[in-house]
């Protein structure tokens, strides 16, 4: 009896010794969420994760951070501009270490919420925290993640100009191309400015039609804008309207002309896509999260460009001739070297 009691006491002591070690093993290492894992909240713009572009890319960066760092992720989708402040506020009150807003249209909301929670960290794609007049509040807890969209636009503009210069079927050589923007805001207009510039580097007489849907989500709003441009002779349609722009790609496919995607490789969206102007929102999102995980302060403004592989282009559903590839590479190298600067405003 005494021997059994002694054995039980020994086993109990061993168990008590192992508990702290087991607890320690459960809260360290590995890629999964832990009690010390950083919590990251992403608030999408209108259009949500199914836009096949902007919002989806931000989520891709967040997913990579989850895999690499074990962050705990929350994604909240905005259905309208009225959702911005409540969604951002909920992220903060839920104890997230970093709240990321996706899109220029969220600037004022970020400025408002960041002012209410000065000890919490925020980041925003394509903007910063502003007042109701659009002035940068220069908040130390807000990081703006900016892009030189005009450089990506320039590359697909060069492709378009080269194709129009020596047209082959289905192109007829109308010397007319176009861009369908969503809302006329700086990131959209920088893309279009670069596209216009790139095409006119090849042929100064080329006509670039520009229209806006005033919409980023509903594809039905972009399709008629593109159809109108095609009726005016546009043979290559560049969509710069997020999920709405998928309608422009569809219009190009229906009418037998070419199209260009935006933000991410969109060749799978429609057979008419010959290239896509790429904006690596996923890289920017991941970078901001990585800095928070590593305890490194994010700069108030970070810019992603060709020089740091923050923008670029992806090939599409047709093979580009060698002369076009060579010309695009030449322009790209000159932009990276700083020997040429792409304008960020549309030429009237």
Q: What is the pLDDT of residues 69-97, one digit of tens each?
A: 999 999 999 999 999 999 999 999 999 99
Give percent of the chain with pLDDT exceeding 70. Answer: 90
Q: Where are the domains of the chain?
A: 39-147+283-293+298-304, 149-279+318-337
Region of 134 on the Ramachandran plot (φ > 0 left; ψ -120 to 50 alpha; else beta): left
By the 8 A CB rule, do 285 and 100 touch? yes
Q: Which CATH superfamily is domain 149-279+318-337 in?
A: Response regulator (3.40.50.2300)
pLDDT by residue (tens digit) across 263-292?
999 999 999 999 999 999 999 999 999 999
The per-residue pLDDT for 34 is: 45
- The residues pairing with 289 across neighbouring beta strands, listed in sequence order, are none
* Topology of domain 39-147+283-293+298-304, CATH: Rossmann fold (3.40.50)
The per-residue pLDDT for 50 is: 83
What's the pTM?
0.88
Confidence bin at 18 (pLDDT 50/70/90): very low
Structure tokens that stand for 55 in this block? 């919002």
The per-residue pLDDT for 52 is: 78
The per-residue pLDDT for 185 is: 97
Positive or negative, the Cα torsion across 204, 209, 214, 216?
negative
Is 149-279+318-337 in the same CATH topology as 39-147+283-293+298-304? yes
Q: Is the pLDDT of residue 19 over 80?
A: no
By the 8 A CB rule, do 114 and 93 touch? no
What burial letters (b/e) apply to 6-15, b meaning 16+ CB within 10 Å? eeeeeeeeee
Structure tokens that stand for 178 in this block? 């176009």
The per-residue pLDDT for 7 is: 46
Q: Is the pLDDT of residue 310 over 80?
A: yes
Q: CB neighbours (10 Å) of residue 249?
A: 31
The per-residue pLDDT for 54 is: 86
Structure tokens that stand for 122 in this block? 């925020």
């Amino acid at each position: 009896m005494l021997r059994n009691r002694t054995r039980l006491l020994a086993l109990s002591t061993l168990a008590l010794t192992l508990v702290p070690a087991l607890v320690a093993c459960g809260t360290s290492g590995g890629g999964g969420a832990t009690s010390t894992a950083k919590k990251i909240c992403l608030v999408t713009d209108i259009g949500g994760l199914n836009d096949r572009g902007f919002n989806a890319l931000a989520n891709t960066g967040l997913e990579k951070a989850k895999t690499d760092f074990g962050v705990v992720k929350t994604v909240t989708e905005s259905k309208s501009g009225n959702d911005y402040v409540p969604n951002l506020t909920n992220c903060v009150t839920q104890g997230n270490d970093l709240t990321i807003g996706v899109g220029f249209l969220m600037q004022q909301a970020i400025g408002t919420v960041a002012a209410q929670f000065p000890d919490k960290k925020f980041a925003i794609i394509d903007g910063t925290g502003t007042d109701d007049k659009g002035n940068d509040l220069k908040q130390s807890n807000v990081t703006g993640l900016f892009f030189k969209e005009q450089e990506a636009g320039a590359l697909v503009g060069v492709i378009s100009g080269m194709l129009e210069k020596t047209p082959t079927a289905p192109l007829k050589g109308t010397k007319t191309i176009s861009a369908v923007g969503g809302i006329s805001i700086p990131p959209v207009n920088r893309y279009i400015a670069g596209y216009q510039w790139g095409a006119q580097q090849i042929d100064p007489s080329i006509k670039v039609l520009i229209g806006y849907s005033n919409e980023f989500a509903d594809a039905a709003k972009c399709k008629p804008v593109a159809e109108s441009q095609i009726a005016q002779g546009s043979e290559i349609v560049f969509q710069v309207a997020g999920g709405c722009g998928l309608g422009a790609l569809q219009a190009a496919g229906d009418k037998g002309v070419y199209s260009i995607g935006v933000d991410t490789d969109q060749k799978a969206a429609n057979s008419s896509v010959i290239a896509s102007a790429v904006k690596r929102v996923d890289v920017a999102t991941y970078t901001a999260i990585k800095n928070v995980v590593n305890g490194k302060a994010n700069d108030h403004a970070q810019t992603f460009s060709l020089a740091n592989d923050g923008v670029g282009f992806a090939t599409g559903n047709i093979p580009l001739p060698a002369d076009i590839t060579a010309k695009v590479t030449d322009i790209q190298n000159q932009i990276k070297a700083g020997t040429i600067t792409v304008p960020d405003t549309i030429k009237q």
